[in-house]
Amino acid sequence: MELTPRLYAIAAKVPQGARLADVGTDHGYLPVWLLLHGRIETAIASDLRKGPLDRARETAQQYGQDKNISFRMCNGLTDIAADEVDTVVIAGMGGETIAAILAAAPWTDRDKLMLLQPMTGMPQLRQWLQRHGYAILEEQIVQEGKRLYSIWTVKGGAMPLLSPAELWAGVNRPGPLRLDYLSMIEEKVQKALEGQLAAREPNHASIAELEAVLLGLLEMKKELIQVTNVGEVFAFLQKKAPFELQEDFDNAGFLLGREQAPVSKILVALDITEEVVQEAAEQGAQLIVAHHPVIFGGLKSVTDQTITGGILLSLVEHRIAAICAHTNLDAVEDGVNDALALRLGLTEIGQLRQTGVDQQGRPYGIGRVGLVPEQSLYDFAMAAKRLLGANGIRLVDGGKPVHVVAVGGGACADFMADALAQGCDTFVTSDVKYHQFLEARAMGLNLVDAGHFPTENVICPVLQNWLAHRFPQVSVSVSQRHTEVFSYL
């Protein structure tokens, strides 16, 4: 079971072992997911209508969790006692409805954690919470499709008086989606103001309040716009994956652009292709951070007569800079190979071939080794295909079950001897040549070629996470257009 980004963000905030009430549960996805992942042992799922509650019960039965959930058809929390729960989720409702549910259950302001996700009426709900002894501890903005949602962590307690703008948009805190969220709220306030101004009998008090909100939102935006430049992003990546660790043949680094150019949006991609450049341009990104170098080999001219030349011209024409972290990112801790090992579910992860330690004392080298529960090669390969999103898998059976696994993102079949020396029965990599498959079978090593793109694209979400946390004022996204190039018949 997979949750939507909105529900996943809510699930991440539910404490381990919580006694949960999911109000307005609809399909029951949240409590079932939490039960499946061992986060909670029991839950209460409530809904006002029979249809949604029946759908929730069907979901729980499908995943074998119906005995761990108490299903209650009731209005909000009216059929739930205070001593039954310590965490309450109310998501996907209007703010005034949420306020009414809490007002009917006054025990919620005493030692209860509430995770609220209002769809409308945010100013009214914030004001109600403020006046009735609740404190908003945190607001997280989550994007799902083209929509932005705000998820509130609330407990009983006092909170400072909110300004008109804060009632609409919450307390101003840096975050990758905060500016976009403020723009969304600004658009709503502007429409409300235009409606008041066009009314036959305008409410002048409301007009003055909405104008004050717009001024406050403008000040919030000014607070967040801290200029980041390309050089600062490169310096950060240098600390995470020192570029001097790259292989001699490589060309990783700051490859195109102006160091002092401001950056408000970054696109992350495995490769810089024409499609990726166009995607970045449409998003208004000033920088692409990629894994594979956009300039490789002896480039002697930049014209539209070559593929690389055309890409570089597009970057220049759209004023988009390029930073590429390649074999240095393969080798460092938390880089490509750690991301690949984690995606495949390996535990007790260690180095496959350690090259050395960097200036900060961190070991680096290509490849990783770890453990998976013993299983057949077929089961492991099918799981790898699914986890990596590969269009196909090539493999040779070395005659052993899978337990000790080596991974090497990209073309790393030359490391088969290292895998055997570490006691591995299986090696996952890509771009395997025919003779290497023959050698692996002769050596008794399961060799899985999961494709270059799937084994390395796992680093893109990692890069996005690094950059978004270091530069919260910058919007960072992963390319949606650059996908696996291979098809299998």
pLDDT value of position 202: 83
Whether residue 21 contacts residue 80, with contact meaning beta carbons closer than 8 Å, is answered with yes
For a pLDDT cut of 90, what percent of the chain falls above it? 87
pLDDT in tens, 81-120: 999 999 999 999 999 999 999 999 999 998 999 999 999 9
pLDDT over 80 at 227, yes or no:
no
Give the pLDDT mean for 422-446. 97
- 297 versus 50: which is more confidently predicted? 50
pLDDT value of position 358: 82
- DSSP letter string over 81-116? -GGG-SEEEEEEEEHHHHHHHHHT-GGGGSS-EEEE
pLDDT over 80 at 226, yes or no:
no
Query: Could you tell me which of 187, 185, 179, 184 has the C-alpha nearest to residue 264?
Result: 179
Checking 10-16 for CB contacts under 8 A at 24+ apart, the result is 10/89, 10/91, 10/115, 10/117, 10/151, 11/39, 13/115, 13/140, 13/151, 13/153, 14/39, 14/40, 14/87, 14/89, 14/115, 15/87, 15/113, 16/40
Whether residue 33 contacts residue 14, with contact meaning beta carbons closer than 8 Å, is answered with no
Give the pLDDT mean for 413-435. 96
pLDDT band at 250 (very low <50, low <70, confident <90, very high): very high
pLDDT value of position 199: 86
Q: Kindly provide the residue ranges of all beta strands, DSSP E only, lying in 215-308, ordered along the sequence.
A: 228-229, 253-256, 262-263, 265-269, 287-290
User: What average pLDDT does the chain have?
Assistant: 94
Least confident of 140-154, 170-184, 388-402: 170-184
pLDDT over 90 at 443, yes or no:
yes
Q: Is 160 helix (H, G, I), strand (E, B) or coil?
A: coil
Q: Is 293 helix (H, G, I), strand (E, B) or coil?
A: coil
Query: Which residues 6+ apart lie within 8 Å of 172 measured at CB?
Result: 166, 178, 220, 223, 224
Whether residue 217 contacts residue 182, with contact meaning beta carbons closer than 8 Å, is answered with yes
Query: Could you tell me which of 267, 289, 270 has the C-alpha nearest to residue 278?
Result: 267
pLDDT value of position 265: 93
pLDDT in tens, 286-296: 999 999 999 98
- 202 versus 248: which is more confidently predicted? 248
pLDDT over 80 at 474, yes or no:
yes
Bridge-partner residues for 351, per DSSP? 368
pLDDT value of position 370: 97
pLDDT over 80 at 225, yes or no:
no
Whether residue 110 contacts residue 156, with contact meaning beta carbons closer than 8 Å, is answered with yes
Give the pLDDT mean for 111-138. 95
* pTM for the model: 0.60
pLDDT in tens, 189-222: 999 999 989 888 888 899 999 999 999 998 888 8
Residue 134 in tokens: 């609740």
Strands 321-324 and 287-290: parallel
pLDDT in tens, 364-393: 999 999 999 999 999 999 999 999 999 999
pLDDT value of position 175: 82
pLDDT band at 26 (very low <50, low <70, confident <90, very high): confident
Whether residue 14 contacts residue 93, with contact meaning beta carbons closer than 8 Å, is answered with no
- Give the whole-angstrom CA distance, residue 461 versus residue 336: 11
Phi/psi at 456 (5° precision): -115, -25
pLDDT value of position 112: 95
CA 377 to chain centroid: 30
Give the pLDDT mean for 414-432. 96
Query: Which residues 6+ apart lie within 8 Å of 25 measured at CB?
Result: 31, 45, 46, 47, 52, 53, 56
pLDDT value of position 176: 80
pLDDT value of position 446: 98
pLDDT value of position 201: 87
Give the pLDDT mean for 56-78. 95
Whether residue 311 contacts residue 293, with contact meaning beta carbons closer than 8 Å, is answered with no
Query: Which residues 6+ apart lie within 8 Å of 205 measured at CB?
Result: none
Whether residue 448 contacts residue 427, with contact meaning beta carbons closer than 8 Å, is answered with yes
pLDDT value of position 222: 82
Query: Could you tell me which of 227, 224, 294, 226 has the C-alpha nearest to residue 254?
Result: 294
pLDDT over 80 at 22, yes or no:
yes
Cα separations in angstroms, 160 against 97, 102, 167, 222 = 23, 20, 11, 22
Whether residue 367 contacts residue 337, with contact meaning beta carbons closer than 8 Å, is answered with yes
